[in-house]
Every structure is written in structure tokens, then in C-alpha cells.
Amino acid sequence: MTSLAAWLKDQDISDAEFGGRIGCDRGSVGRYARGERFPTPATLVRIREETGGLVNADDMLRTWEAKNPGQAPEGEGAVDESGAPNAVRDASAGELVARPGEAA
């Protein structure tokens, strides 16, 4: 498990380059890496795929929690009005699963 910031540094990849690979701008990549914004489920999938599974949803959540103790993730699609995740990526199985009560 590794943070997005550490992975980008290890790979010598800029936020702008990585953003191009996953379909977002460099500012969003920087905010994800610093835990200032939580990626959408679709972006979590792209991050995991682009990093070869070395950065996954659990890693992104750890980054978020380190920056925002006790706060639910914020970001486009991160949580619904009740605070429940809209969808989560099962890091061990690599599958996108829906929140309880919804089909995947």
C-alpha cells in the first residue's frame, strides 16, 4: 500500500501527466494526493489501474483521514446526503461494488 503522492514521486510523474492519464486536471491530482479532495468511484478505478494496483481506494482513504480526522470523504460522488459512500472499490478483489441495497 502506498500513497498517491509517494507513488507519483517514486515514478517521477507530474500531477499534470498523471491527470492526463486518468482524465482529470493537475489541480485535482494534487488535491487527491494531499487528501484535500476524495476521488469519485470512477476516478478511484482509474487511479488503481494506472498505478498497477499500488494505489487503491484504501490508500486514498488513509490519505483523506490523515488530513481530515473524523470527517467523511468529500468530493464529487464520494458520499450521499446521509454520509454513506456512493460506491467503494474493494481493494482486495479489485471490483467496484455498490453501497448496501444497490446492485453493483
27 phi, psi to nearest 5 deg: -60, -40
The answer to whether 54 touches 3, Cβ cutoff 8 Å, is no
| β-pair type (95-98, 87-90) | antiparallel
Q: Would you say domain 4-98 falls under CATH 1.10.260?
A: yes
Q: Give pTM, 2 decimals.
A: 0.72
| Per-residue pLDDT tens over the stretch 1-52 | 799 999 999 999 999 999 999 999 999 999 999 999 999 999 999 999 999 9
User: What's the CA gap between 51 and 95, in Å, rounded?
Assistant: 16
Mean pLDDT of all residues in the chain? 80
Residue 75 has pLDDT above 60, yes or no: no
Give the pLDDT score at 54.
Answer: 96
DSSP-assigned letter for residue 64:
H
Sketch the domain layout of the chain as residue ranges.
4-98
Give the pLDDT score at 76.
Answer: 55
The answer to whether 34 touches 68, Cβ cutoff 8 Å, is no
